[in-house]
Structure 1
Amino acid sequence: MKIDLIKCHGSGNDFLLIDEIEGAVSFTEEERANLAKLLCNRHSKLGADGILFVLNSEQSDARMRVFNADGSEASMCGNGLRCVARYVCEKYHKEEAVIETMKAHLQVKKEEDLYPKIPTYMVEISPVTFEVEDLPLQIEQETLQNEKILSLSDRLSFTALAVPNPHLVSIVEAKDIHSDVQKQLSEYVNGPNPLFPDGVNVSFVKLLQKGAIYVRTFERGVGFTNACGTAMSASSLVTCLNSLNEVEQVIEVYNNGGKVRCVVHEKDSGYSIELIGNATYVYKATIELDEKQLTQFEVIEKQDFDSETLQYKKLEETASEFVRSNM
């Protein structure tokens, strides 16, 4: 079986995008999981944080399904959605579209370049809920906002929210960013534990200056990533709730893979977040897959997007310097 794919990334959070719209390829649920584990393996000739499957939708322009490198399916992925937004908009020659995700139909649109010559897209991040049962988080209260979980830390405070995938966010100091605290508690809540039976994305957030934050995320099913789009969105909202930033104002969000912009909106129905950032293509490839066992593949053709990669490197260097100067 031959499969065409695109290696792409949002803020260094990289994916393999596979188009199922035309019907040239189609997979069962088991095959999707196995394919993610096979192709995303960093020791293989491809490697990625996950696979973005783009499918037909009955109500929207397209449907996105996201499978992590460990074969688990994510309910939402903001960085991945930007890549799908670019692919769908370019495929149908549109400036904006609606993409169906597991729990919502979300607006996406092309934006002015975040940095010169870097394709930039806005994606809607919603719905947002603070009900702990929606994560789920098993504690004896309905919400957790800027409070301690003593079994995790007697010093740090956390906010739990789903956007719609689950996030645990803590606003910290630089010393916490450089310590092993995040690694230890993230591995705990993503292993057998009494709090998060399904695991959770864990983000540490450092305020750099008004309107600018740094976010580092341990992503459920992946581990530490260069960036997690929903985590950066959730973290932006948490800083607004803590009066560090303001709703309806642009928040520059820096990460190990570069930067994005977030705008938190507050409505009668609750919160939504605009996530604005790059959708960079790294290469196109065609692979030959052993379709009977899904245990091996060969890359038979590859076309690099060198100019996009080099330009994003410039953004990454600029972002890193800002973080170093303000951490």
Structure 2
Amino acid sequence: MQIDLIKGHGSGNDFLLIDEISNDYVFTEEERANLAKLLCNRDTELGADGILFVMKSSHAAGRMRVFNSDGSEASMCGNGLRLVARYICELRGLDEAVIETMKANLKVSKQDDIYPQVHTYQVEISPVLFELKALPLNLNKPTLFNEKIKELSEELRFTALAVPNPHLISIVETEQLENNLQKQLSEKVNGPNHLFPDGVNVSFVKPLGKDSIYVRTFERGVGFTNACGTAMSASSLVTCLTELNEYEKVIDVYNNGGKVQCVVHKLDGTYTIDLIGNATYLYRASIQVNLGEKTFSNLSRTNLSEQATYEKLQEDAQEMIKQSL
């Protein structure tokens, strides 16, 4: 099977994008999972955090499905959605659109560059759910807001929410970022455990100053990533809930992959988040895949020049992190 694809990233969170709108690809569910495990393997010529399948929708401009590198499907991916937003908008000649995802139809739009010559898109992150059964998290209470989970840590406080991916957020100090605690507890809740039977994304959040935070995330099904879009959105919301930041104001969110911006909206007790950041293409490629033999070969590859300008944003973001932590 020959497949054309684009490799791109949002905040360094990299994906392979496969267009099923313009091409007549037909994949079974097993093939989607196996493609993700095969093509996203970092030991191969491609390697990525996941695959974005861009599909036709009966009621939206397009549909996004996300498969992690381990073959599992994610209900949502904010960084990936920005890439899909760009692809759909450019394909259909739009500046704004609605994209169908597993749990919701989400608004996306092209924005002014977050940094000179960096393609920038805004995507809606919703719904936001606080009920522990939505994650699920097995505790004898309906919600968890800025509280301790003794099985995980005697010192940290956590907030649990789904957006709709499940997230466990802790606001920390610099020394807690620098030790091994996040890795240990993230691996615990993403292995066999009674608290999070389906696993969970774990983020440590460090306020950097007014309207500015740093987020590091251990992503379910992936491990530590440069950035996780829904985690940065959920983290921004938690800082508003704890009154570290304000609703309706732009929050600069720094991560190991660069920087995004979030705006948290609260209306009648419900929340939505705007996630604004880069949608950068690295290259276009054509590959020949044999899923039966679990092999593929590159037929062609065209490198693009967008990464050079993104790296300037990344350098500035890393300098900000270095000065602030």
Please state which band the TM-score falls in when normalised by the shorter chain. over 0.9
- Within a 5 Å distance, the mapping from 1:12-51 to structure 2 comes to 12-51=12-51
The residue type paired with residue 236 of structure 1 is S
- Within a 5 Å distance, the mapping from 1:115-154 to structure 2 comes to 115-154=115-154
Q: Deviations over 1:46-97 (max 9, x none)?
A: 0000000000001100000000000000000000000000000000010001
Structure 1 position 234, deviation (Å)? 0.1
Which deviates the most, 23-32 or 203-212? Answer: 23-32
Aligned match of 1:311: 309
Aligned match of 2:232: 232
The SS at the match of 1:145 is coil
Distance 2:24 2:100 in 1: 21
Q: Deviations over 1:246-270 (max 9, x none)?
A: 0000000000000000000001150
The residue type paired with residue 321 of structure 2 is V
Distance 2:183 2:131 in 1: 25
Distance 1:279 1:23 in 2: 22
Distance 2:274 2:282 in 1: 24
Q: 1:285 to 1:23 in 2, by over 3 A?
A: closer
In the TM superposition, structure 1's runs of 4+ consecutive aligned residues that sit over 3 Å from their partners are none
The SS at the match of 1:3 is strand
Aligned match of 2:300: 301
Q: Deviations over 1:175-222 (max 9, x none)?
A: 011110000000000000110000000000000001000000000000
Structure 1 position 22, deviation (Å)? 2.7
The SS at the match of 1:86 is helix
Structure 1 position 23, deviation (Å)? 4.0
Distance 2:280 2:26 in 1: 25
Aligned match of 1:180: 180
Structure 1 position 24, deviation (Å)? 2.1
**Contact in 2 for aligned 1:34/1:294 (Cα 8 Å):** no
**Contact in 2 for aligned 1:38/1:294 (Cα 8 Å):** no
**Contact in 2 for aligned 1:76/1:230 (Cα 8 Å):** yes
5+ residue gaps, structure 1: none
**Contact in 2 for aligned 1:226/1:256 (Cα 8 Å):** yes
Distance 2:148 2:113 in 1: 39
TM-score (norm 1): 0.99
**RMSD over aligned Cα, in angstroms?**
0.7
- Within a 5 Å distance, the mapping from 1:147-166 to structure 2 comes to 147-166=147-166
The residue type paired with residue 108 of structure 1 is V
Structure 1 position 17, deviation (Å)? 0.1
Distance 2:23 2:81 in 1: 21
Aligned match of 1:325: 323
Structure 1 position 25, deviation (Å)? 1.0
Distance 1:231 1:33 in 2: 23
The SS at the match of 2:107 is strand
Distance 1:8 1:22 in 2: 18
Distance 2:310 2:117 in 1: 9
The SS at the match of 2:283 is strand
Distance 1:67 1:107 in 2: 21
Distance 1:277 1:301 in 2: 29
Identical counterparts, % of pairs: 66
The SS at the match of 1:310 is helix
Distance 1:304 1:26 in 2: 27
Aligned length: 325
TM-score (norm 2): 0.99
5+ residue gaps, structure 2: none
**Contact in 2 for aligned 1:247/1:263 (Cα 8 Å):** yes
Aligned match of 1:109: 109
